[in-house]
Copies of this chain bind each other. A is one copy, B any other.
Amino acid sequence: MTAWQQVAGQHALNLDTIQKADKQIAPYSVHTPVLQSDALNKHCGASLWFKCENLQRTGAFKFRGACYALLQLTEREREAGVFTVSSGNHGAALACAGQMLGIAVHVGVPRTAPQIKKQNIAQYGARITELEPGMAAREAFTAEQQTTSLAMFIPPYDHPWIIAGQGTAALELIKHQPNLDCLIAPVGGGGLLSGTCMVGQSQELAVYGAEPETVNDAWESLRNGKVAPAKGPLSICDGLLTQLGEHTFSIIRSHVQDILLVSEAEIISAMGLLWQQLKIIVEPSSATVMAAVLKYPGLFEGRNVGLILSGGNVDISRLGLRSLFDEA
């Protein structure tokens, strides 16, 4: 049993925890805007309220959980520092929160992770160790850290602290717009969706998860009653490739209305619609929720829908912006 598993066992998770997290992280996190679009409302025949976690510090909701987790450490644990393994948003979130709180952060990053993701972690002063791709190197790194240092492992999603932190996005959303009928969030490891479920349930809202159909392990997990393994890198939604954890599965299974599957083409199309109409950059993982609302109109038409846009970390340098201004 790892250190964080021991901690996890000691901490109950309920709406009070999320409210406590909300208060504790408020001095550090961005109270992200909630946007609406006349055109998208008309297009969907629903009233859509977009919680913009792409505008969160480090460009993703992950900052919320990472920050709340670090705020729970004792003075001695703070001094020992923390570590994690991440190729993306969780690593940057932990590095940023660590820098703000004066806690040393060490991130194991797969050698093959995109350069922009490594830079995003490095800019917050975290120590980076490059790992070979795959589970074996991750586990070796984790084991080595646990024997050679006192640093605590901060997992990306399957921990009550992380789930409570991620739930603050939905909490801010329902405070901003109290008359919602339902909430929808992307599901990968399930941290964001679990937190959203707990908030939604407290208001008796239907909560949906949105998942790429190419990596439909959460959908399968619900149907089979046990955590299905990750499918591999088969979706452009690089934030949604992981499988559910023990805590997140348990919460999602109890509270979620359903997991809605969307295709890669539907995700790209929804992403373009969000960029065009909301004037914001969202990453494909975020666009799953818009794609789901478009694909399952029977669930959403005529309703007040809260959509959590999880992040906006895409590599703009690959777009060739100049081409926007060539003669048509």
Interface residues of A (CB under 8 A from B): 33, 35, 38-39, 42, 54-55, 57, 59, 96, 114, 123, 236, 268, 271-272, 275-276, 278-282, 284, 312-325, 328
Asked if residues B281 and A236 are in contact (CB atoms below 8 Å), the reply is: no
Instruction: Please tell me if the beta carbons of B276 and A279 are within 8 angstroms of each other in the complex.
Output: no
Contact, CB under 8 Å: B57 / A38:
yes
> In the complex, which residues of chain B have a beta carbon less than 8 angstroms from the beta carbon of A328?
114, 318
Contact B276 A317 (CB under 8 A): yes
Name the residue of chain B whose CB is nearest to the CB of A314.
B324
Contact check, A315 vs B324: say whether CB atoms are below 8 A apart: yes
Query: Which residues of chain B come closer than 8 Å to A236, judged between CB atoms?
Result: 325
- Top 7 A-B pairs ranked by shortest CB distance? A279-B312, A276-B316, A33-B33, A236-B325, A279-B281, A54-B279, A275-B316
Q: A312 to B325, alpha carbons, bound, how many Å?
A: 14
Q: Is the CB of A268 within 8 A of B316?
A: no
Residues from chain B with a CB closer than 8 A to the CB of A315 are 276, 324
**Distance of A241 from chain B, by nearest CB (Å):** 13
* Interface SS of chain A: helix
Taking a contact as CB atoms under 8 Å apart, the answer to whether B35 and A55 are in contact is yes
Q: Which among B42, B123, B313 is the interface contact of A39 at CB below 8 angstroms?
A: B123
Give every chain B residue within 8 A of A96 (Cβ-Cβ): 38
**Per a CB cutoff under 8 Å, which of B33, B278, B323 touches A319?**
B323
Q: Least Cβ distance of A114 to chain B in Å?
A: 7
* CB <8 Å contact, B318 and A279: no
Distance in angstroms between the alpha carbons of A98 and B42 in the assembled complex: 18
A270 to B238 Cα, complex, angstroms: 27
Cα of A39 to Cα of B95 in the assembled complex, Å:
14
Q: Note all chain B residues with C-beta closer than 8 A to A317.
A: 272, 276
Quick check: B114 and A284 within 8 Å, CB to CB? no
Q: Say how far A133's CB is from chain B's closest CB, in angstroms.
A: 15
Question: What chain B residues lie within 8 Å of A321 (beta carbons)?
Answer: 268, 271-272, 275, 319
* A197, B12: Cα distance in complex, Å: 55
Complex formed: what's the CA distance from A317 to B182 in Å?
30
Expressed in whole angstroms, the minimum distance between the Cβ of A316 and any Cβ of chain B is 4
A286, B55: Cα distance in complex, Å? 18
Give the distance in Å from the alpha carbon of A268 to the alpha carbon of B325 in the complex. 10
